[in-house]
Amino acid sequence: VNPRMWDDLAGQVAAGSRFAGLMATQRAGGLVLSAHLAGAKDVTVRDVALPPGAGSYPALTPVLGAASWYEREIHDLFGVVPAGHPHLEPLLLPGPSVPRHVLGAGLFTIPHGPVRSGVMESIEYLVETPGEDIPHLSTRVFYKHRGVESRFEGLPAGDGVLLAERTEGVASVAHALAYCHAIERIADVSVPWPAALVRVLYAELERLANHLDAAVRLADAAGLAVATARFGVHKERVLRLVSRMCGSRFGRGVVVPGGVSGPPELSGADFLAEIGRLDRAVTADAAVLMGTASFLDRLRSTGPLRPERAREYGALGPVGKASGFSDDARRFRPYDAYPALGLGEVSTYSAGDALARLRIRWDEVRQSFHLLRQAADELGDVGDGAFRAEFDPVDGRSVGWAEAPQGEVLYDVRVEGGRLTRCHPRSASFHNLALFHEVFAGDILTDFPFIEASFGLSVAGVAR
Amino acid sequence: VSPWVLRGLRDGVVTTRWPARPDPYADGWRGPATVLDPRPAGAADLASLCPTGAVSATHRSLTLDQGQCILCGRCVVGRPDVFGWSRGPGGAALTRDGLVVPQVTETERNLAAVRAALRAKTAALRRSVHLRHVDAGSDGTEEQEIAALLNPVYDIHRLGIFVTASPRHADVLLVTGAGAHGMAEPLRRTYDGMPDPKIVIAVGTDACGGGLLAGSSATSDGVGAVIGVDVWLPGSPPPPFSILCALLGALGRLPREVSP
């Protein structure tokens, strides 16, 4: 194994590319490691083939810290050892026994999870504390590992989208889009214009539902009963609107390779009327929330992520934008109807705290309402065209992406003989959760639910 | 006065009165696929329509296992004369076999005994019921739909139903997900921690049969392999009304026509 195998990659990251992920593929000639780099216009892949039977390779993590979780995942799933990895604990598969470190005198561990209070996904946070502060936190995500990646293998390329929708259910539409973009890129197919507009409708409604859910959780953490109730009702209205359009409350079954399964089962006028009502209600309640001093006090300077760290790591979505790192696939690597719609500026803040992450979400909510109106107007004008480009899946390999409410979702897909031989979904939740334990400086136990809600991640997309 | 007091009064009562009164959103819900014609011409070829293998066919008749239906609609689009959508918030069954449509008469006879046994367990709960939820490998949507039961639209507190953190206080266990191996032990311990009588509801197609993850080496094709299940509720995910319907059905608190 070439000890300088990562020099080229590290150089590109130093030159300004964003490290977007690392995955392994078992090929006939041995294991291939593929690093994803997001540039100004495209996502590129760097493949490094290991010699057949290689049991280890020089770890990337010492050169590029953001690779840490990716190399732990590869170690779990493929058994190859990244030599020199500073923290090679199990991530997706539980090891024979995981030691519980307690890092200092007078500290004790509070396990949160895997069965958590309330209705939450399974994950375990080990909070080490002298009683109030959180000097150290470790995260165990393997409990709900479902083996999604291996289930992709062998599926017909047209069926893969169904599993993509269930990889991270709260971002069903974004995952379906990223998957279909990869399949469409391989076949060099572009989707009909009406379908591109319909895709934007569902993607932005999904963003609304997720951001309203974050508001519900934050208001609930602060004990604001009326705010919790009202944002809960708004979110329910969004999900009902989606179900009136397609039958599923999460927009499932809409995005298919080549376009969408059909137009919304709701007239443009009814849609716009409901969007108008929602916009007024959400905007008014958000304004009151952002004027509630007792609420803002709990968020301000809570769970700060330093801008330098966000940039260095490549933090995605609202977490990155709140720390001044403004990557948004809809703007920089646009797809479907986004290039033609007015997205406006991507707002960023530099505070990097839970408050900044909420402000970003309200900015994105405003942007989403704007996009929904534009796309619906445009769709009314184009009338009934084709909603799907029919094509037979073509063999090949490509990367597809979409901007989920949590940030950029990336799919690396390989099709051989019309079936998937490799499909690696990389959710924003996976990428961002690795940062979660770093933001607890100075925060206390009661800040935990605020910080967790402000990250707004889904465990399903991490453990897969 | 806090502005929230006035905002709280703004929209009046938004809470549904279901099940005491009909609710159009509940009654119009599009549930799992169902069989319209169990003896169609060319039945043997229809199994291949379903990506999860929910459709079983012999050369002259077919059945559909709603516990494996992910509502993708391929069968309904492909053969609208044979398959259709079920409507309404029902669809839960008291046995795993009860999710297979069309139902065979033998299962229906067994059902009376199962129903009586469940009623005996739930009779003592009356109008104070505490729920505990465990995620055994869901895709994350089932949690959203269960949590939605707490919003003012569904407001399960009006029915005397509450979510509790401790399994020691819980009467009903809602289990979601395909039965990830990593969650088997935490799930069993939660179940063991609950006092008797206890009811287990498998929420969602993944929990009933594994859905698209059936056959994965990391899951056990549904939660039935890990703990005993009393009520099986398909859906991908089932909406809040269906979860509520399954819950009230298990408690014997539904009007007859929607009872599982």
Lowest mean pLDDT among A105-114, B149-158, B228-237: A105-114
Taking residues A388-397, what's their average pLDDT? 90
All residues at 6 or more sequence positions from B213 whose CB lies less than 8 Å from its CB, including other chains: A146, A147, A148, A151, A166, B137, B178, B206, B219, B221
Chain A contact present for B71, CB below 8 A? yes
As a whole number, the mean pLDDT across chain A is: 91
What pLDDT score was predicted for residue B139?
94
Share of chain B above pLDDT 70, in %: 96
B205 chain-A contacts, CB cut-off 8 A: none
Question: Which of the pair, A4 or B23, is modelled with greater confidence?
Answer: B23
- CA of A247, closest CA in chain B: separation in Å? 6
Q: Tokens 């094709």, residue?
A: B221
Chain A contact present for B210, CB below 8 A? no
Interface contact A146-B165, CB threshold 8 A:
no
Interface contact B186-A143, CB threshold 8 A:
yes
- Alpha carbon distances (Å) from B157 to A237, B127, B153: 20, 10, 11
Taking residues B170-180, what's their average pLDDT? 95
How far apart are alpha carbons A69 and A92 in whole angstroms?
A: 10
- CA of A434, closest CA in chain B: separation in Å? 19
Determine the residue of chain B that is closest to A145 in CA distance.
Answer: B180
Interface contact B7-A170, CB threshold 8 A:
no
B142 chain-A contacts, CB cut-off 8 A: 169
Interface contact B216-A148, CB threshold 8 A:
yes
Angle made by CA atoms B159, B164, B165, in degrees to the nearest 5: 165
Taking residues A135-151, what's their average pLDDT? 90
What does the longest C-alpha to C-alpha distance in chain B come to? 72
All residues at 6 or more sequence positions from B144 whose CB lies less than 8 Å from its CB, including other chains: A169, A170, A213, B237
How far apart are alpha carbons A239 and A216 in whole angstroms?
A: 14
User: What's phi and psi for B11, nearest 5 deg?
Assistant: -100, 10
What pLDDT score was predicted for residue B108?
66
DSSP assignments along A350-395, one per residue: SS-SHHHHHHHHHHHHHHHHHHHHHHHHHHHHH-S--SB-------
How far apart are alpha carbons A114 and A111 in whole angstroms?
A: 8
What pLDDT score was predicted for residue B3?
86
Interface contact B148-A150, CB threshold 8 A:
no
Residue from B137, B258, B151 nearest B187 by CA? B137
- CA of A213, closest CA in chain B: separation in Å? 9
Q: Is B64 helix (H, G, I), strand (E, B) or coil?
A: strand
Interface contact A170-B51, CB threshold 8 A:
no
Identify the bridge partners of residue A243 per DSSP, sorted by sequence position: none
Binned at pLDDT 50, 70 and 90, residue A427 comes out as very high
Q: Tokens 């109008």, residue?
A: B127
Determine the residue of chain B that is closest to A170 in CA distance.
Answer: B141
Interface contact B153-A119, CB threshold 8 A:
no
**C-beta neighbour count of A141 within 10 angstroms:** 27
Burial of B62 (0-12, 13-18, 19+ CB in 10 A): buried
Task: State which amino acid sits at residue A50.
Answer: L
What pLDDT score was predicted for residue A100?
63
- The partner residue sitting opposite A144, judged by closest CB among B146, B147, B177, is B177
Identify the bridge partners of residue B180 per DSSP, sorted by sequence position: B219
Q: A167 with B137: CB under 8 angstroms?
A: no
* Per-residue pLDDT at B259 exceeds 60: no
Question: Which of the pair, A345 or A414, is modelled with greater confidence?
Answer: A414
Share of chain A above pLDDT 70, in %: 98
Q: A164 with A176: CB under 8 angstroms?
A: yes
Helices then strands, each counted (H, E), chain A: 16, 13
Chain A contact present for B148, CB below 8 A? yes
Chain A contact present for B169, CB below 8 A? no
Interface contact B165-A459, CB threshold 8 A:
no
Binned at pLDDT 50, 70 and 90, residue A107 comes out as confident
What pLDDT score was predicted for residue A458?
94
Chain B contact present for A262, CB below 8 A? no
Q: Is A107 helix (H, G, I), strand (E, B) or coil?
A: coil
Interface contact A232-B136, CB threshold 8 A:
no
Chain B contact present for A287, CB below 8 A? no
Chain B contact present for A319, CB below 8 A? no
Q: B208 with B67: CB under 8 angstroms?
A: yes
Give pLDDT tens digits for A46-67: 999 998 888 899 999 998 989 9
What pLDDT score was predicted for residue A129?
86
Q: A432 with A407: CB under 8 angstroms?
A: yes
- Alpha carbon distances (Å) from A208 to A276, A278, B43: 14, 10, 43
Chain A contact present for B58, CB below 8 A? no
- CA of B36, closest CA in chain A: separation in Å? 19
Chain A contact present for B143, CB below 8 A? yes
How far apart are alpha carbons A429 and A408 in whole angstroms?
A: 9
Lowest mean pLDDT among A408-417, B1-10, B197-206: B1-10
Residue from A144, A185, A138, A179 nearest A161 by CA? A179
* Per-residue pLDDT at A340 exceeds 70: yes
What pLDDT score was predicted for residue A99?
58
Interface contact B140-A147, CB threshold 8 A:
no
As a whole number, the mean pLDDT across chain B is: 90
* Per-residue pLDDT at A111 exceeds 90: no
Q: A317 with A405: CB under 8 angstroms?
A: yes
Q: A144 with B178: CB under 8 angstroms?
A: no
- The partner residue sitting opposite A232, judged by closest CB among B134, B151, B236, is B151
Determine the residue of chain B that is closest to A232 in CA distance.
Answer: B151
A232 chain-B contacts, CB cut-off 8 A: 148, 150-153
Chain A contact present for B212, CB below 8 A? yes
- The partner residue sitting opposite A169, judged by closest CB among B140, B182, B213, is B140
How far apart are alpha carbons B44 and B38 in whole angstroms?
A: 12
Strand order through the sheet with B55-57: B55-57, B62-65, B100-101
B153 chain-A contacts, CB cut-off 8 A: 232-233, 236
How far apart are alpha carbons B66 and A418 in whole angstroms?
A: 28
- CA of B24, closest CA in chain A: separation in Å? 12
Interface test with A, best of B4, B23, B68 (most A CBs within 10 A): B4
Identify the bridge partners of residue B55 per DSSP, sorted by sequence position: B64
What pLDDT score was predicted for residue B260?
52
Chain B contact present for A423, CB below 8 A? no
What pLDDT score was predicted for residue A88?
86
Interface test with A, best of B130, B131, B141 (most A CBs within 10 A): B141
Interface contact A232-B148, CB threshold 8 A:
yes
DSSP state of B80: T
Chain A contact present for B68, CB below 8 A? no
Name residues 100-129 of chain B within 8 A of A (Cβ): none
What pLDDT score was predicted for residue A71?
94
- The partner residue sitting opposite B180, judged by closest CB among A146, A249, A253, is A146
Interface contact A145-B182, CB threshold 8 A:
yes
Name residues 77-106 of chain A within 8 A of B (Cβ): 94
Interface contact B180-A168, CB threshold 8 A:
no
How far apart are alpha carbons B128 and B159 in whole angstroms?
A: 8
How far apart are alpha carbons A378 and A361 in whole angstroms?
A: 25
Residue from B258, B222, B206, B242 nearest B89 by CA? B242
Chain B contact present for A427, CB below 8 A? no
Q: A424 with A412: CB under 8 angstroms?
A: yes
A292 chain-B contacts, CB cut-off 8 A: 3-4
Chain B contact present for A118, CB below 8 A? yes
A242 chain-B contacts, CB cut-off 8 A: none
What pLDDT score was predicted for residue A206?
97
What pLDDT score was predicted for residue B258?
53
Q: Which two tokens stand for residue A375?
A: 């796309």
Most confident residue range from A5-14, A121-130, A220-229, B51-60: A220-229
A229 chain-B contacts, CB cut-off 8 A: 8, 151-152
DSSP assignments along A272-308, one per residue: HHHHHHHHHHHHHHHHHHTT-HHHHHHHTTSS---HH
What pLDDT score was predicted for residue A93?
82
